[in-house]
Every structure is written in C-alpha cells, then in structure tokens.
C-alpha cells in the first residue's frame, strides 16, 4: 500500500529585511526545510498554508522565492490574511489561480485529492480590511465544483483560516466568517476526510461536525496558552514546527515535528 507524504508549514511571515529585534523568519524557514529533508527523504508535496509574508509586500515575496525555487519537490503556496494576491502573483507568476483570480488549486496524491482554498478577504473600497477569513460565493462555488469532480475520491481541504472556534478567543474573532456555509457544503458531498489549517500559531486537533481537523504551528512565534486573551498578535518563543500528513489507503495520520534553529 503506497503512502503519500505531505509536509505542512504555515505562517512563515517572511519579511525583507527581518523585523528589528525579532528572529529572521527566512532563517527559521530554511532551518525547518533542512530538517524536513533530513528526516523525511521521500515527501510527495510541501504545503505552506498561508501568511507567506508578514506585510504582503513584493520585496518579501522576492525574498521567499529563491527559498522555494531551491527545493527539489513540489511546493503548494497558499495565502493568508497577511498576504496580498497582487504582490504574490506578481512574483510567483506561475502560481495557479482559478477563473476569478483566487489562488486555489487541486493536487492529486494517488487516489486522494488535496484542495487548497484561498481564504484571504478581498479588499473592498470603503470597507476596513479584516484579518478574518472569507469564502465568498464564488469561492464556495469553486469548492463545490471540485468536490463534485472528485466523486468518491477521498479529499483533504487545506485553508489558512480555521472554519470553527479553536478555544482562543482572540483568534476565534478572526476565524473564517463563512464557516457554517463551508461545513454545510462539505457535508453535502461527504468526501472530505480531513481539514488542515494554520493561522493560530499552535498545534490543535479535533473534530467539528464530524470532520477531523489539524492546525499547525508557525515557523516563527507561537500563540501562548491564553484562551481568554484578546491580543491576536501575541507570541511566545516556543520551538517552530512543521506537520507531516500521511495518506495511507483510507487513513489519515498526522504528526508534528519541532525543530531547532541553530
């Protein structure tokens, strides 16, 4: 039985240059990728689950690009609330986008389908930008079509923003706004076996409406264990980590691996 191995990084927050007084996020990402290659020599795909940069600026994407280009395996880049679609697509010119310009795609992994969603809120004139996630009607329709096309194939959905509460009051205030619509949609299809997300900067797992999920740590600062806090930017210097998702037959196995930045 063949096992598909998916490596998940999230919330890498690249800046150009590094923010004064803080660890360099590029250095932390490179350390994580080096550790990944040392311990997992046969990965099929690397997913970076949003917040590729901290400011969504072109210089930061240009700093990230040679890191990605230097890998010898496929990389799926996703957007989070700290990203900018225009700046990202201007640097990663071969990034797949759907017919409406959203950075979304489907990757076949043996019998499995990994569906990556763009949950970055659209900036609209006259509206204040929110760091909460968005799946507008067009993106929900795209997901509906992909799940229909998958048929009986088991699917994993990857998204930056969790679609449900996680217990952290601050971060739950900026979760995916259309979470119930998302869960209603995947319930109609019945072929989503697992959901992976980032955004929280903490390792969290469980089920919501009967669907298992895994949320992964950041390669930079982590969310401290402060359930009732209101600060969405608070961080503590716990070890960075990446996820390892194993697809084996009908099973999904999820591991996390902390690593040291030398």
Is 182:135 a contact under the CB 8 Å cutoff?
Answer: yes
Determine the pLDDT at residue 107.
98
Determine the pLDDT at residue 22.
78
Count of alpha carbons within 13 Å of 158, Cβ hemisphere only?
29
Determine the pLDDT at residue 127.
86
Domain residue spans in the chain?
3-258
Architecture of the structural domain at 3-258: 4-Layer Sandwich (3.60)
Determine the pLDDT at residue 18.
78
pTM of the model: 0.96
Bond preceding residue 167 cis, omega within 30 of 0: no
The whole-angstrom distance between residue 160's C-alpha and the CA centroid of its chain comes to 4
The whole-angstrom distance between residue 41's C-alpha and the CA centroid of its chain comes to 22
Determine the pLDDT at residue 20.
75
Determine the pLDDT at residue 134.
98
Identify the residue whose tokens are 């700046």.
87
CA–CA dist 262, 260 (Å, integer): 6
CA–CA dist 139, 160 (Å, integer): 14
Look at residue 245 and give its three-state secondary structure. Answer: strand
Task: Give the per-residue SS3 of 165-228.
Answer: CCCCHHHHCCCECCHHHHHHHHHHHCCEEEEEECCCCCCEEEEECCEEEEECCCCCCECCCCCC
Nearest to 154 by CA among 119, 113, 124, 126: 113
pLDDT tens for the 262 residues of the chain, in order:
689 999 999 999 999 987 777 789 999 999 999 999 999 989 999 999 999 999 999 999 999 999 999 999 999 999 999 999 999 999 999 999 999 999 999 999 999 999 999 999 998 888 888 999 999 999 999 999 999 999 999 999 999 999 999 999 999 999 999 999 999 999 999 999 999 999 999 999 999 999 999 999 999 999 999 999 999 989 898 999 999 999 999 999 999 999 999 8
Determine the pLDDT at residue 2.
85
The whole-angstrom distance between residue 5's C-alpha and the CA centroid of its chain comes to 16
């Amino acid at each position: 039985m063949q096992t598909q191995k998916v490596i998940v990084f999230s919330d890498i927050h690249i800046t150009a240059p590094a923010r004064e007084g803080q660890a360099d996020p590029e250095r932390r990402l490179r350390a994580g990728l080096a550790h990944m290659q040392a311990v997992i020599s046969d990965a099929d795909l690397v997913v970076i689950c949003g917040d590729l940069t901290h400011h969504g600026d072109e210089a930061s994407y240009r700093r990230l690009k040679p890191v990605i280009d230097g890998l010898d395996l496929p990389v799926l880049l996703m957007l989070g609330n700290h990203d900018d679609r225009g700046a990202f697509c201007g640097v990663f010119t071969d990034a797949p986008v759907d017919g409406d310009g959203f950075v979304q795609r489907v990757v076949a992994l043996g019998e499995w389908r990994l569906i990556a969603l763009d949950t970055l809120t659209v900036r609209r004139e006259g509206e204040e930008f929110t760091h909460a996630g968005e799946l507008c009607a067009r993106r929900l329709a795209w997901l509906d079509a992909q799940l229909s096309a998958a048929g009986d194939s088991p699917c994993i959905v990857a998204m930056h923003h969790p679609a449900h509460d996680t217990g952290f009051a601050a971060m739950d205030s900026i979760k995916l706004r259309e979470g119930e619509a998302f869960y209603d949609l995947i319930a109609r299809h019945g072929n989503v076996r697992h959901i992976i997300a980032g955004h929280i900067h903490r390792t969290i797992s469980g089920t919501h409406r009967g669907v298992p999920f895994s949320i992964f740590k950041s390669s930079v600062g982590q969310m401290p264990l402060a359930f009732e806090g209101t600060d969405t930017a608070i961080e503590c210097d716990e070890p960075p980590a990446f996820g390892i998702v194993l697809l084996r037959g009908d099973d999904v196995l999820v591991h996390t691996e902390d690593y040291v930045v030398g």
